[in-house]
A and B are shown apart, each in its own frame.
Chain A
Amino acid sequence: MVTRALKGPRFMVSDHPLPWLLPLIVILVVFALYPFFYNIFLSFHEFAPRKRALVPVGFENWQKLFADPRMWSAFYVTLFYTGVCLTIQLVLGMAIALLIDSDDRGFGFLRGVMTLTLVIPPAVTGMMFLLMQDSQFGLISWTLQSLGVLSPATPILATSSLAIWGVILADVWQWTPFMVLIFIAGLRSLPRDPFESAMIDGASAWQIFRRITLPMMSKVIAIAVLIRGIDLFRMFDYVFVMTSGGPGTATYTLSLYAWQQTFSFIKWGYGATLSLFALFVILIAANLFVKIFKVRW
């Protein structure tokens, strides 16, 4: 028989999961659930500068939100950014994954290099691309100007139509490797037989990719799209350091707009409402995605 001392704390002897889960539940309740309800409370209040206090305003913030053209603009920018980045990163990620998924000499090193961008703080990436896109001495701007693609009079990050693309470039650079690494892992886990029989049957490379690789990779692709999509939708760091939402409102994302309303314009209640709106959109979209594509954990 095992002695009590060896069995550990009395409450952990039983086979009940609660003691094991309790610390996690406490953290989730205090740091996820409580803030969530506090946020809902905030969304029905607003800071009154004269009283220096929060006053209840009913549904005013929510009415304001749906009537706010800047909110819709930020919503549109967020969707555009998410869609464009996701598409580029998916296609480019798959292409690069197929390219460097090889056991030839040196490819292991290449795969190692591709992991490096993932651990750079996005705020630092933002500063890197801010420097490289500087209209006077930035490397990217200079290259584009030398090629005659970009006029020296149009600074990338200070031109309404271009600024978002400058931010997208930073995101694509940092996160395409995320897709590459996941896809390589997916490619390596595929069984060899279907490919061998397809090659014996004389299928072309494109046919094999389209008819065998893609369908067999669908689960991996769905997970990569889900995780990346969530992170893109809530993106904050790049626009905060690179453009602060400008020029005008060209690069305001929902997250940045919510943050600025709260902390720069002291609209505590409205900022909270905006952040809740982003939260609901993302939860609904992610849930639909999980249901439709049957993503399982």
Chain B
Amino acid sequence: MVLTPAQRILRALVAWAVVMLFAFPIYYWITVSIKLGRDIFAIPPKIFSFETSAKSYEEVFGISLGFEKGIAVLPGGGDFYMAPRLMDSIIIAVFSTAVAVLVATLAAYALSRMRFRGQHHFVFWILSTRMMPPVAVAIPMFFIYKDFGLLDTYTGIVLVHALMNMPLAVLLLKSFFDDIPKEIDEAALIDGASRFLIFRKLVLPMALGGIAATAVLCFIFSWTEFLFALTLTQTSLKTVPVVSSTFVTSTGTAWGNMAALGTAAMLPAFVFILLVQKNLVRGLTLGSVKQ
């Protein structure tokens, strides 16, 4: 469509307005994290002009940033000290991503390069795992984990998150492997190389970009997951999304602290998502829509 200069300017204006409307709640949430209590509850709401304070972050991370004089924050103390929960989230996301990517890379290579009976059904089985409501896994898993002593452990939640990411990882990696010409494998096979050698020395290095993108997406989905973490962890570990919903105290909801934790959880994910921009749509559609 060829637009006149006036139309182009109008389009740009509307586009900026719409996108800023979508960005606004994020901006507003960040302002809540650096506001004082009285400004959070101000009517009319304060959007651009308010006193800033790092108090919420200091309480959440248990550190003194030194902006406020006379407020001593005890490390390791306080109701809102959430640094260990961030650590839990990172550990769970990293290990579940490692498991998912490792297992999925092997499977995706086979699905991309080999043909076997029932392959179509097998792919469909993987896909239907993506369709299961998490609650239908979380309920039986709770009782199974209770019997095996895996409730409230890193191992337990890591494995469930790995399962949750498996369809995404397998199908996405398969689409990346499919992009690498099969002739490479075939030529090497004729030269007497084994499948494993071809996989490790030829295909894997060429698929590194795709594997990295897959890993980033798995990390993000584990990082943001709520239902499994809520059901399968209790006291010894908790992820950020789960504790975010528990900041309701007897004196009301601690919005500032909650926003500080939420912002701290969002910012690393923002950086990650910008890293995989190129493969994002492919990831969101499990490898079926390419950019």
Indicate whether A166 reaches chain B with its CB closer than 8 angstroms: no
A207 → B minimal CB distance (Å): 12
Residue among A35, A275, A276 with the highest chain B CB neighbour number at 10 A: A35
Indicate whether B220 reaches chain A with its CB closer than 8 angstroms: yes
By a CB distance below 8 angstroms, the chain B residues around A142 are 43-45
Asked if B139 contacts A100 (CB within 8 A), the reply is no
Q: How far is A126 from B110 in the complex, measured between Cα atoms in Å?
A: 40
Q: How far is A21 from B116 in the complex, measured between Cα atoms in Å?
A: 11
By a CB distance below 8 angstroms, the chain A residues around B224 are 119-122
Asked if B244 contacts A182 (CB within 8 A), the reply is no
Q: How far is A34 from B132 in the complex, measured between Cα atoms in Å?
A: 13
Q: How far is A113 from B8 in the complex, measured between Cα atoms in Å?
A: 20
Indicate whether B74 reaches chain A with its CB closer than 8 angstroms: no
Q: Which of B44, B132, B170 contacts A279 (CB 8 A)?
A: B132
Residue among B103, B136, B193, B225 with the highest chain A CB neighbour number at 10 A: B136
Q: Which of A208-263 contact B (CB under 8 A)?
A: 208, 220, 223-224, 227, 230, 233-234, 236-237, 240-241, 254-255, 258-259, 262-263
**Tally of chain A residues near chain B (CB < 8 A):** 104
Q: Which residue of A lies closest to B291 (CB)?
A: A185
Asked if A20 contacts B272 (CB within 8 A), the reply is no
Asked if B140 contacts A36 (CB within 8 A), the reply is yes
**Interface hit among A2-10, A55-63, A80-88, A153-161:** A2-10
A232 → B minimal CB distance (Å): 11
Indicate whether A283 reaches chain B with its CB closer than 8 angstroms: yes
Q: Which residue of B lies closest to A23 (CB)?
A: B103
Indicate whether B255 reaches chain A with its CB closer than 8 angstroms: yes
Q: How far is A223 from B144 in the complex, measured between Cα atoms in Å?
A: 34
Q: Which of A24, A241, A283, A286 contacts B170 (CB 8 A)?
A: A24
Q: How far is A119 from B104 in the complex, measured between Cα atoms in Å?
A: 22
Q: Which residue of B lies closest to A238 (CB)?
A: B226
Asked if B135 contacts A110 (CB within 8 A), the reply is no
By a CB distance below 8 angstroms, the chain B residues around A275 are 133, 135-136, 139
Asked if B273 contacts A17 (CB within 8 A), the reply is no
Q: Which of A119, A186, A236 contacts B226 (CB 8 A)?
A: A236
Q: How far is A230 from B227 in the complex, measured between Cα atoms in Å?
A: 16
Q: Which of B1-35 contact A (CB under 8 A)?
A: 1-2, 8, 11-12, 14-16, 18-19, 22-23, 25-26, 28-29, 32
Q: How far is A46 from B49 in the complex, measured between Cα atoms in Å?
A: 57
Q: How far is A224 from B126 in the complex, measured between Cα atoms in Å?
A: 18
Q: How far is A124 from B265 in the complex, measured between Cα atoms in Å?
A: 9
A36 → B minimal CB distance (Å): 7
Asked if A263 contacts B270 (CB within 8 A), the reply is no
Contacts A13-B194, A32-B129, A188-B291 known; A116 to B273 CB distance under 8 Å? yes
**Interface hit among B58-66, B76-84, B157-165:** B157-165
Indicate whether B75 reaches chain A with its CB closer than 8 angstroms: no
Contacts A1-B192, A119-B273, A282-B131 known; A96 to B136 CB distance under 8 Å? no
Residue among B22, B160, B280, B286 with the highest chain A CB neighbour number at 10 A: B22
Asked if A42 contacts B139 (CB within 8 A), the reply is yes
Indicate whether B241 reaches chain A with its CB closer than 8 angstroms: yes
Indicate whether A73 reaches chain B with its CB closer than 8 angstroms: no
Q: Which of B102-160 contact A (CB under 8 A)?
A: 102-104, 106-107, 109-111, 114, 116, 122-123, 125-144, 159-160
Per-residue A-contact encoding for B185-217, CB less than 8 Å = 1, 0 else? 000000011111100100000000000000000
Asked if B18 contacts A283 (CB within 8 A), the reply is no
A8 → B minimal CB distance (Å): 3
Q: Which of A120, A129, A227 contacts B284 (CB 8 A)?
A: A227
Per-residue B-contact encoding for A162-188, CB less than 8 Å = 1, 0 else? 000000000001001110011011101
By a CB distance below 8 angstroms, the chain A residues around B111 are 17, 21
B132 → A minimal CB distance (Å): 6
Asked if A272 contacts B128 (CB within 8 A), the reply is no
Asked if B25 contacts A283 (CB within 8 A), the reply is no
Asked if A113 contacts B22 (CB within 8 A), the reply is yes
Q: How far is A244 from B36 in the complex, measured between Cα atoms in Å?
A: 28
A233 → B minimal CB distance (Å): 7
B184 → A minimal CB distance (Å): 16
Indicate whether B251 reaches chain A with its CB closer than 8 angstroms: no
A93 → B minimal CB distance (Å): 11
Would you list 10 pairs from A and B whose C-beta atoms are within 8 A, ordered by A residue? A8-B200, A20-B110, A27-B162, A120-B262, A121-B223, A123-B226, A176-B22, A185-B291, A234-B134, A262-B142
Closest 6 CB pairs of A and B: A8-B196, A20-B110, A234-B133, A119-B269, A121-B241, A275-B136
Measuring CB to CB, which residues of chain A are less than 8 angstroms from any residue of chain B?
A: 1-2, 6-9, 12-17, 20-21, 23-24, 27-28, 31-32, 34-36, 38-39, 42, 96, 99-100, 102, 104, 106-107, 110, 112-124, 126-129, 131-132, 136-139, 142, 146, 173, 176-178, 181-182, 184-186, 188-189, 195, 199, 205, 208, 220, 223-224, 227, 230, 233-234, 236-237, 240-241, 254-255, 258-259, 262-263, 268, 271-272, 275-276, 278-279, 282-283, 286, 295-297
Measuring CB to CB, which residues of chain B are less than 8 angstroms from any residue of chain A?
A: 1-2, 8, 11-12, 14-16, 18-19, 22-23, 25-26, 28-29, 32, 40-45, 47, 102-104, 106-107, 109-111, 114, 116, 122-123, 125-144, 159-160, 162-163, 166, 170-171, 192-197, 200, 220, 223-227, 230-231, 240-242, 244-245, 247, 253, 255, 258-259, 262, 265-266, 269-270, 272-274, 277, 280-281, 284-291
